[in-house]
């Protein structure tokens, strides 16, 4: 597996704005988990860019217990697994989200907080996949949505353990 470039950067979201995924948490419990613990895949989408040219987006809950490096490795393992099972995809993106807060309930709908994304795509990147770029050199990159200080707070590395990122309200109960 190619070594990924872990970049701590601001949020890059297709179409601008903040990335959030609405998910029925009951669906998270029914999904198989592979390749190992630390994640749960809850959505997989295939987009046809041109005839014979498709890109795949996989959404997963990724635990941050052991830190950003561990989360990056889980996302890279998901990417490698997807590449191994789907040999027709010309580009793959793994979107990692933080786990829902404890006590959210099985039937609650909530907004998940994005953690990072890992792309495997030809230059210049996943969003630019086209017939013209499909023969360019491929690269794997991981970009975290939050900076290192925020990630330490989310993993318990400081007194901010367990807090949601600033500006993120706690999940509402119906």
In this structure, what CATH number is given to the domain that contains residue 132?
A: 3.10.310
Element (H, E) at 44: strand 39-50
Query: What confidence tens digit (pLDDT) does each residue in 128-142 have?
Result: 999 999 999 999 999
164 in a structural domain: no
Half-sphere exposure of 88 (CA within 13 A, CB side): 9
Give the chain's domain count: 1
The residue written with tokens 């991981």 in the block is: 142
H/E element holding 43?
strand 39-50
Overall average pLDDT of the 141-150 stretch = 84
Q: Is residue 173 part of a domain?
A: no
Residue 145 has pLDDT above 60, yes or no: yes
Answer whether residue 14 is part of any domain. no
* 59 part of a folded domain: yes
> Is residue 76 one of the residues assigned to a domain?
yes
In a domain, 38, yes or no: yes
Look at residue 158 and tell me whether its pLDDT is greater than 80.
no
Distances (CA, A) of 98 to 10, 70, 72: 16, 13, 13
pLDDT tops 90 at residue 77: yes
Q: Is residue 167 part of a domain?
A: no
The phi-psi region of residue 96 (left if phi > 0; otherwise alpha if psi is between -120 and 50; otherwise beta) is beta
CA 12, CA 114: separation in Å to the nearest integer?
11
Q: What percent of the chain has pLDDT over 70?
A: 59
Q: For residue 27, what pLDDT is reported?
A: 42
The residue among 121 and 157 whose pLDDT is bigger is 121
Strands 138-144, 89-97: pairing is unpaired
Q: What is the per-residue pLDDT for 63? A: 84
pLDDT at 169: 53
Alpha helices in the chain (DSSP H): 25-29, 68-85, 148-155
- Residue 37 in domain: yes
pTM of the model: 0.67
Read off the tokens for 75: 């996302």
Contact predicate 14/127, CB 8 Å: yes
Mean pLDDT of the chain: 73
Q: Which domain holds residue 64?
A: 5-9+19-155
Q: How many Cβ atoms from other residues are within 10 Å of residue 162's Cβ?
A: 10
User: Which string of DSSP letters, residue by residue, matches 128-144?
Assistant: G--TTTTTSPEEEEEEE
């Amino acid at each position: 597996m190619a070594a990924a470039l872990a970049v701590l950067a601001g949020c890059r979201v297709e179409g601008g704005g903040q990335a959030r995924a609405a998910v029925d948490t009951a669906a998270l419990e029914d999904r198989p988990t592979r390749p190992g613990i630390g994640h749960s895949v809850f959505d997989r989408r295939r987009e046809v860019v041109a005839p014979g040219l498709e890109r795949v987006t996989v959404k997963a809950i990724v635990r941050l217990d052991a830190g950003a490096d561990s989360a990056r490795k889980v996302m890279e393992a998901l990417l490698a697994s997807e590449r191994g099972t789907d040999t027709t995809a010309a580009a793959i993106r793994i979107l990692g989200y933080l786990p829902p807060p404890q006590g959210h309930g099985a039937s609650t709908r909530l907004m998940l907080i994005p953690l990072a994304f890992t792309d495997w795509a030809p230059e210049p990147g996943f969003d630019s996949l086209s017939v013209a770029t499909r023969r360019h050199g491929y690269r794997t990159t991981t970009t975290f949505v939050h900076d290192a200080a925020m990630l330490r707070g989310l993993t318990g590395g400081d007194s901010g353990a367990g807090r949601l990122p600033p500006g993120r309200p706690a999940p509402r109960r119906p």
